């Protein structure tokens, strides 16, 4: 009887120690990914506008203009202000492919050419999806807004984004 009690106590101690190890490892993994997602990366804030249907609609955005900022984007965010967004500046025209890995909120992605014209819109991108979301042509930038914003405001290809990186419109 004494032997089985000792064995049970030893087994319980080992299980408790293993559970503690797993808990610590989980905490390290979670805190490590959070530090990568927010610790040393900061974004410049700016205002831009979209000209659509004869109106000028203002947005307050964060600028993702480095590889590190573009890689992080809106990952790990749990919300975005109604008039908020993120502008991804790719510095030169290129075909762009985006995804929603580690992105917790649905987004609209507006693909924008050098003149500031919206080329195409991917509406309501699904959180955490690794499906590729691509530009229909080479673009200079992508503007991410809350999912449903493009539809709610009637934004469409051909509308113009007003911000200093975009040149004058071509007639």
Q: What is the CATH number of the domain that holds 111?
A: 2.60.120.1140
Q: What is the pLDDT of residue 20?
A: 42
* Full domain range(s) for residue 78: 44-162
The pTM of this model reads 0.76
Q: What is the pLDDT of residue 122?
A: 98
Q: In terms of domains, do 100 and 119 share one?
A: yes
Domain count, the chain: 2
Q: In terms of domains, do 65 and 128 share one?
A: yes
Q: What is the pLDDT of residue 158?
A: 98
Q: In terms of domains, do 90 and 34 share one?
A: no
Q: In terms of domains, do 115 and 141 share one?
A: yes
Q: What is the pLDDT of residue 23?
A: 41
Q: In terms of domains, do 130 and 57 share one?
A: yes
Q: What is the pLDDT of residue 134?
A: 98
Q: What is the pLDDT of residue 67?
A: 95
Q: In terms of domains, do 72 and 114 share one?
A: yes
Q: In terms of domains, do 117 and 140 share one?
A: yes
99 within some domain: yes
Q: In terms of domains, do 106 and 157 share one?
A: yes
Give the 3-state secondary structure of the chain: CHHHHHHHHHHHHHHHHHHHHHHHHHHHHHHHHHHHHHHCCCCEEEEEEEEECCEEEEEEEEEECCHHHHHHCCCCCCCCCCCEEEEEEEEEEECCEECCCCCCCCEEEEEECCCCEEEEEEEEECCCCCCCEECCCCEEEEEEEECCHHHHHCCCCCCEEECCCCCCCCC
Give, for all 171 residues of the chain, the pLDDT tens digit. 556 666 655 555 544 444 443 343 343 333 333 333 455 889 999 999 999 999 999 999 999 999 999 999 999 999 999 999 999 999 999 999 999 999 999 999 999 999 999 999 999 999 999 999 999 999 999 999 999 999 999 999 999 999 999 987 555
């Amino acid at each position: 009887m004494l032997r089985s009690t000792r064995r049970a106590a030893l087994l319980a101690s080992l299980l408790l120690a293993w559970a503690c190890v797993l808990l610590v490892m989980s905490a390290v993994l979670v805190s490590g990914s959070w530090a990568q997602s927010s610790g040393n990366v900061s974004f410049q804030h700016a205002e831009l506008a979209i000209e659509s249907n004869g109106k000028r609609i203002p947005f307050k955005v964060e600028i993702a203009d480095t590889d590190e900022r573009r890689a992080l984007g809106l990952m790990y965010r749990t919300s975005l202000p109604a008039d908020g967004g993120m502008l991804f500046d790719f510095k030169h025209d290129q075909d762009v492919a985006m995804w929603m890995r580690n992105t917790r909120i649905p987004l609209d992605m507006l693909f924008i050419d050098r003149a500031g014209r919206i080329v195409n819109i991917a509406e309501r991108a699904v959180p955490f999806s690794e499906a590729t979301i691509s530009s229909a042509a080479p673009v200079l930038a992508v503007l991410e807004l809350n999912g449903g914003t493009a539809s709610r405001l009637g934004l469409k290809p051909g509308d113009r984004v007003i911000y200093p990186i975009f040149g004058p419109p071509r007639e």
